[in-house]
Structure 1
Amino acid sequence: MQLLTVSILYSLAVLLLIWGLYFLLGYRNQKREWKQKVNEWYPEQKRKSSLSVLGDRFDKSEASQPLALKLQGSNIALLPSEYIGVHILGALVLFVLLFNIFKLPGNITIILIPVILFVSHYLLFYLRKNKYEERFNSQLADICRLLGNGARSGLTINQGIEMVAREVGAPAGDEFKRIANELKLGVPLETALRSMQKRNKSREFQLFIATILIQKKTGGNLAATLESMSNTLEDRKILNQTIKTMTSEQRYISIIVPAMPIFIVLMMNNIIEGFTDSLKTVPGMIILALFLSGIVLSFFLIRKITNIKV
């Protein structure tokens, strides 16, 4: 009798061990699948150049976040550390150009390099201001058309967002992929849309989000509303493109006119030895200050005139 009891207990222990190993392996497989899905939904941003580990730490620090937001808003596909690396490389190139080719004195070269880099940094973000929002808004008409067709064919808003994430390219496609992944994880639709609304504060996108949320709460013909919005956004897109085409010459002139006199002065200094020596005197400095002020003023005036908002 005791032998039978021991055999039964031994068999139960073996069965429980096998059963526990089975569930452990199932849990490990399920965990591995979830990791793969999370990596697909939220892929890590790969570096585009061989920067050092110090650059990786800087990109993840809070000090780099304002610069990262500026780069994203300007639609520049660079990490903050890569952008700083470009400036360091630019400083070396400017030193070679100004000191060896244009024959400027060393002290003037050292002063000019940070000034040129600061001005180029400011002009870059000024000229490319809201480029990310502009590219995103240029895709809104197609997004409204896709969502409207999906609603007309019986798809829900969540399914329509997944369809947009598959069909539309960057940058709108990436944002809608992020929303689709958040919805799969159980985030409410309004919360996901509000988070994207904070990243794009343009008037067109605010209207788009408000339309979807109001239609979801009150009901109504979502397909007809989105189709009407798509036609309106398409007309605005055509009008904006027409204005850009008509003012393209003036916008290029605003860049060429300030650059030409500076290039000519540097070339003359390379050809005629001591051509810029008169700028070291007090009258020369006054004339140089007036000259630079006129260049800056002409640039901003031309850009202001050609900046027509619809």
Structure 2
Amino acid sequence: PALTLSGTDGSGYPQVRLRIGLPAELLAGDPSGKLVFAVVENGVPVDVAAIEPVGGESEPLDVVLLIDTSGSMKGAPMAAARESAERFVDAVGPDVRIAIVGFSSRPRVVSAFTTDRARLGKAIASLEPAGETSVYDALVTASKMSSDPGSRRAAVLLSDGGDTVSASSLDVAIRAMRSAGMPVYAVALSSPEFNPRALRLVASRTGGRLLEAKEAGSLSGYFEGIAEELTGAYDVTFASHRPNTKDLEIDLTAELDGKKAALKTVVTNPMYAGPVEDAGTGLTPISGGGLPALVVTTVLAFASVALLVGGAGLILIPEPTQLGQLKYYDQLQATADAASTTGGMKSKLVDAVGAAAGRGGFTDLFRGMLERAGLPVRPAEYITMHILLVVAVGVAARVLLRNLPVAFLLIIIATVVPLWALEYLARRRIRRFEEQLPDVLNLVAGSLRAGWGMMQAIDLAAKEVGEPAGPELRRAETEARLGVPVETALQSMADRLSSEDFAWAVTAISIQREVGGNLAEVLDIVANTVRERGALRRQIEGLTAEGRFSAIILICLPFVEIILLLLINPGYISLLWTNAIGVVISVLAVVLLVVGSIWLNKATKVEV
């Protein structure tokens, strides 16, 4: 059996006091021997200065009984719960004040703190099962119930399933019980919805313990055992030998009539204790309004942030010149015509976003990305859709998951993934263009040999080849017919596509037009060179495919694990940012991840 630790006091250091609860197994059988405690501190035995029983008039005991009254408790489980609660009331003694809280879809205080056993019996008999399970809300309610300032408080919880409808999270419930100084003794009754993981975390973090009952008939024994533990608490004081360590590793053993119970715990060394935490502002929090209030406040919060960012952009970013506005006319004519016919709120929103983005230079940035990707979308439209996607993902994650760290991660993903997808589409389109380039150059060279001019050769190539080379050549031809030099139009096409191979061909054309020569032969040589480079590039990609795939898995795996742990066990992963050592580990992990990502990228990327 294990001892339970419900509190520590190092104010009289080197005297350290531990409040210990004895397990029912140690107290069973009407013990008559002497209770002996032994303490080992950091591997060194220390002297036990005092052993004092807790309770009596100087420190009365107040207990909140939390009984699950959800629909899954119908029948035998509910009957056993009532009987167990009645036995608990009888076992703790007449001086212990008890309160009854039943919880289903929401918690309900059935009886406030009282020593009137008849009143408690009526309250227990009135419990009826119906609805969902709100364990976390019930714990928060219990922590707020008034009690005598000098009393010792505890909570005894019975549930047969996991939380389904609470507005409060697991972390909020644990913090509330810890702030109230109430250890939670939880009894988990096995059922189809059995989920003891959360109850085990609540019990361990508050100084209580979890008991798992396989059947309803065993509940009474568990409740009587908890009653014995609560009324059999002791304050054990030992003299520390003042180790020069931040934490004190305590091994405590209790022995009674030949039976032993032990406890291993870590206590902060008072010599290294930090400053006392601020008690707060004393403001009374506004009570929650449930899911509708959560939705409204979340939407308003995101809208406020969006308006703040937009307003700051309108004020701080300078006005654009009229010459800069002419860049908008480079978009595809079909898209411009379609956009000009739209009206109403959508058009106004897109125009407002476009104006703000244009002042910051984002329009030019996204215009280049959209052109490389071949998407017939205006920059303002894309930016608007991107912002709406991020806001929608953030609101949905906050409302549905009710987990702020997960919502923050999903917002980051919603911000980064569209940009990555845009860059992926651009790279794929450029790769297809470079695969077409040798055939395009051979076609232009053949046209020149046949006696055609450069403009006629480009026009023929634009008609004969498909996407993406065809539309890009038609755009270059149109620019040349409007008065732009052919070399300049082709160089703009090379810059737009970020194609080094095509830039070589443009350089050859420019040199030929300045100094003369056989351009058809030069283009054939360039085409053969590009074709050989493409074959070598594909061979290298095939050889490095396994390494690149491994790099993607290794980089993405930490983020996937973080999201899963935030959903499954947020209290466990939260130590990475709520604990000083965890923060150091997190920063080190991020640095190593960045270094590893750069190293993997360099190891799997071969320039041709």
Mark yes or no: TM-score above 0.5: yes
SS in 2 for 1:275: helix
The answer as to whether partners of 2:491 and 2:503 remain within 8 angstroms in 1 is no
Question: How many residues were matched structurally?
Answer: 267
1:263 to 546, 560, 581: 560
Query: How far off its partner does 1:166 sit?
Result: 1.0
In the other structure, the counterpart of 1:254 is 551
2:468 to 171, 191, 197: 171
The answer as to whether partners of 2:464 and 2:470 remain within 8 angstroms in 1 is yes
Identity %: 27
The answer as to whether partners of 1:73 and 1:131 remain within 8 angstroms in 2 is no
In the other structure, the counterpart of 2:518 is 221
In the TM superposition, what whole-angstrom CA distance separates every residue of 1:133-188 from its partner, at most 9, and x where no partner exists? 54433332121111011112222111000011112223332221012223333444
1:236 to 528, 533, 536: 533
**Structure 2 CA distance for aligned equivalents of residues 254 and 73 of structure 1:** 26
**Structure 1 CA distance for aligned equivalents of residues 585 and 538 of structure 2:** 40
**Structure 1 CA distance for aligned equivalents of residues 520 and 449 of structure 2:** 6
Richer in helix (by share): 1
**Structure 2 CA distance for aligned equivalents of residues 86 and 73 of structure 1:** 18
2:590 to 272, 285, 292: 292
Question: Which stretch of the first structure deviates more once superposed, 273-282 or 55-64?
Answer: 55-64
After superposition, the CA RMSD in angstroms is 3.5
Normalized against structure 1, the TM-score is what?
0.70
Normalized against structure 2, the TM-score is what?
0.39
Q: Which amino acid aligns with 1:88?
A: L
SS in 1 for 2:571: coil
The answer as to whether partners of 2:440 and 2:461 remain within 8 angstroms in 1 is yes
1:281 to 546, 566, 579: 579
**Structure 2 CA distance for aligned equivalents of residues 197 and 272 of structure 1:** 52
In the TM superposition, what whole-angstrom CA distance separates every residue of 1:230-249 from its partner, at most 9, and x where no partner exists? 11110101111111122122
1:52 to 319, 340, 346: 346
**Structure 1 CA distance for aligned equivalents of residues 468 and 393 of structure 2:** 33
In the TM superposition, what whole-angstrom CA distance separates every residue of 1:67-108 from its partner, at most 9, and x where no partner exists? 22234346666543324423532453355457744x63x3x3
Query: How far off its partner does 1:122 sit?
Result: 7.1
**Structure 1 CA distance for aligned equivalents of residues 497 and 596 of structure 2:** 31
Matched, 1:67 2:366: yes
SS in 2 for 1:170: coil
The answer as to whether partners of 2:445 and 2:523 remain within 8 angstroms in 1 is yes
Question: Which stretch of the first structure deviates more once superposed, 146-155 or 121-130?
Answer: 121-130
Aligned residue runs from structure 1 range 1-310, under 5 A: 43-45=333-335, 52-53=346-347, 54-56=349-351, 58-59=353-354, 61=358, 63=361, 64-73=363-372, 78-80=377-379, 81-93=381-393, 96-97=396-397, 100-101=400-401, 104=403, 106=404, 108-109=405-406, 111-113=408-410, 115-116=412-413, 120=417, 133-200=430-497, 202-272=499-569, 274-279=571-576, 280-310=578-608
**Structure 2 CA distance for aligned equivalents of residues 122 and 165 of structure 1:** 30
The answer as to whether partners of 1:95 and 1:113 remain within 8 angstroms in 2 is no
The answer as to whether partners of 1:139 and 1:172 remain within 8 angstroms in 2 is yes
In the other structure, the counterpart of 1:26 is none
**Structure 1 CA distance for aligned equivalents of residues 468 and 376 of structure 2:** 11
SS in 2 for 1:295: helix
Q: Which has the higher contact order (CA 8 A, sep 6+)?
A: 1
Q: Which runs of 5+ in 2 are unaligned?
A: 1-330
**Structure 1 CA distance for aligned equivalents of residues 383 and 429 of structure 2:** 17
- Does the C-alpha gap of structure 1 residues 264 and 110 become closer, same or farther in structure 2, counting only changes over 3 Å? closer
**Structure 2 CA distance for aligned equivalents of residues 272 and 147 of structure 1:** 64
Question: Which stretch of the first structure deviates more once superposed, 161-170 or 256-265?
Answer: 256-265
**Structure 1 CA distance for aligned equivalents of residues 332 and 365 of structure 2:** 22
- Does the C-alpha gap of structure 1 residues 143 and 154 become closer, same or farther in structure 2, counting only changes over 3 Å? same
**Structure 2 CA distance for aligned equivalents of residues 293 and 117 of structure 1:** 23
- Does the C-alpha gap of structure 1 residues 284 and 173 become closer, same or farther in structure 2, counting only changes over 3 Å? same
Richer in strand (by share): 2
Q: Which runs of 5+ in 1 are unaligned?
A: 1-40
SS in 1 for 2:572: coil
Question: Which stretch of the first structure deviates more once superposed, 244-253 or 264-273?
Answer: 264-273
Question: Which stretch of the first structure deviates more once superposed, 83-92 or 296-305?
Answer: 83-92
- Does the C-alpha gap of structure 1 residues 159 and 303 become closer, same or farther in structure 2, counting only changes over 3 Å? same
The answer as to whether partners of 2:373 and 2:422 remain within 8 angstroms in 1 is yes
| Higher-Rg member (1/2) | 2
